[in-house]
Amino acid sequence: MAFLDEAHLHDMETSGPQFTWVTRRSNRGYMAARLDRVLVNDEFLDIWQSTSATVLHCLSSDHHPIILRLHETSGHVIRPFRFQHMWTTHLSFTHTVLASWAQLTTASCPIQLVTQKMKRLKPTLKNWNWVTFRNIYVEMEKASEALNVIQAESALYGDSDDRLLEEIDCTVRLNTVLNQHQINSTQRNRLQWFQDGDRNSQFFHTMNRFHKTSIGLSSLVVDGELIFDSGIISDSVV
């Protein structure tokens, strides 16, 4: 519609019945149309990127009500799971994956078996990542400070076998952390390039935000019941 473009508005996609108005008058037969809509602007999409609109069933009226669910983007956001390449540089990574994968499951078919194992592996790797790497910038600072201290002691008191071995350990530790940081930064920069690239127009970013409102999973049928709780939906899928 031309007025939508002139007013810089977007017609949100909805779930549920396709039409929002129906009539079953005997002299006119059955008629249906999508008359009711949810219109939003760019500022709305900046704040409410997790919005979903659902067309409900009509009862006493010939118009279907539309329920709008809002979730602030600035609030708690469930971050998607991403494999970090720097994990492969740690000696305990392979053992952690194998230990999680070897645990028994209740699956009866291969697809369910893989699904359950992957669903269990994700929180395992997240917890392992927190315990092992924590904040990589803090680890870099600690490793650098430890090396500075041992080198300062060597300069002040002279070299010794113990200080030499300790300096080698600190150097290896710092190089390892720096290598992990470089791998992590390379991966993040590559993802950032894929996300941004040459997509620097206001039109692209607006359409990208609008697209996010239509691809989110706002409801799910679990055991025959329609669920809207994001926590239950997250636990029900991989």
> How many CA atoms within 13 Å lie on the side-chain side of 32?
7
Q: State if pTM tops 0.85.
A: no
Distance, in Å, from the CA atom of 238 to the CA atom of 233, rounded to the nearest integer, reads 10
- The one-digit pLDDT tens for each residue of the chain (238 residues) are 677 777 878 888 888 888 888 876 666 667 888 889 888 887 787 777 778 888 887 777 888 889 888 865 555 555 677 788 888 888 889 999 999 999 888 878 888 888 889 989 998 998 888 887 776 777 788 888 888 888 888 878 887 888 888 888 888 888 888 887 787 777 666 655 555 554 445 555 565 666 555 555 566 666 767 666 666 766 666 5
Two structure tokens written together for 49:
């990127």
- The pLDDT value recorded for residue 210 is 60
Of 94, 86, 187, 175, nearest in space to 133 by CA = 86
Q: What are phi and psi of 5, to 5 degrees?
A: -65, -40
Angle at 143 between CA 131 and CA 99, to 5 degrees: 25
Evaluate whether 218 touches 228 at the Cβ level (below 8 Å).
yes
- Helix pair 161-195, 136-157: axis angle to 10 deg: 150
